[in-house]
Amino acid sequence: MCTSFKKELMEAGHNFKNSGGNTFNIALYTDSASFTAATTAYTSTNEITNDAGSAYSAKGNSLTRVDPTTSGTTAYTDFADTSWSTATFSAMGAMIFNDSHSGDAAVVILDFGALKTATAGTFTIAFPAADASNAIIRIA
Amino acid sequence: MINGKVGDVIVTTTDGVNLGAEHWADRATEQVISVGEDSHPFIVEQARAFKDRIRHVVHYYMIEAINEDRSRVVALLRSAGHHDLANSVEKL
């Protein structure tokens, strides 16, 4: 989770509500990308490109927001799964960023753990169960 | 003290084919029903059985929806005079 995101939350810089919230995108990156908690914003450097076709566009896919909620003392939010069809590309990781925020503020960095490749197929990112133990973004 | 945590995503890719109804039925079921690992074993067993039943139902109606949509495409192609294409789609 990007440190700048934590600060921006305290400045009311992000709205994850399904209705009227900000636009959050997920961009994919090659294994040359090197992000840390100090990453602050979306960058096109080392963003993936298509090996064939045009399934992937810069800044990736916009995500469908799910209203934030709580369970016990944990607050969390979720997104609907996202996919690229007729995809021919590889990615090692991803960044979720706020496309509505001036400067495209980074939210979280995701490491896929290995290079994932789709060839004339589908590239799908499934978000974890929306609960206090697994949800993609949690504040405990 | 407030801790921010990030969950793990699952990336699925295919080569030369698209993800089928089975994959999407699994995803839909995962979104609808989650079973707490710390629940009583009897509750977990019941929940898993219910989850399997829901998965089968979702999968069945996804196939029905795909067939309906394909029939619509075939009808549109035939009405536009593309009979060969309509026959090809019908055989999918």
Residues A103-134: tens digit of each pLDDT: 999 999 999 999 999 999 999 999 998 888 88
Average pLDDT, chain A: 95
Give the residues across from A77 on adjacent strands. A137
Whether the predicted pLDDT of B52 surpasses 90: yes
Tell me whether residues B4 and A83 touch, CB distance under 8 A: no
CB pairs under 8 A between A and B: 87
ipTM score above 0.90: no
Q: Which residues of B touch A (CB under 8 A)?
A: 2-19, 23, 27, 30-31, 34
pLDDT of residue B44: 87
Whether the predicted pLDDT of B39 surpasses 90: no
Q: CA nearest B69: which of B90, B43, B39, B46?
A: B90
Tell me whether residues B27 and A112 touch, CB distance under 8 A: no
Tell me whether residues B7 and A138 touch, CB distance under 8 A: yes
CB contact set of B11 (below 8 Å; sequence gap of 6+): A91, A112, A116, A123, A124, A125, A126
Mean pLDDT of the region A9-26: 95
Q: Report whether A124 contacts A82 (CB < 8 A).
A: yes
Question: CA quadruple B76, B82, B83, B89: dihedral positive or negative?
Answer: negative
pLDDT of residue B1: 67
Q: A102 to chain B, minimum CA–CA distance in Å?
A: 23
A39-50: b (≥16 Cβ within 10 Å) or e: bbebbeeebbee
Give the residues across from B13 on adjacent strands. A123
pLDDT grade for B81, boundaries at 50, 70 and 90: very high
Length of chain A: 140
Whether the predicted pLDDT of B35 surpasses 80: no
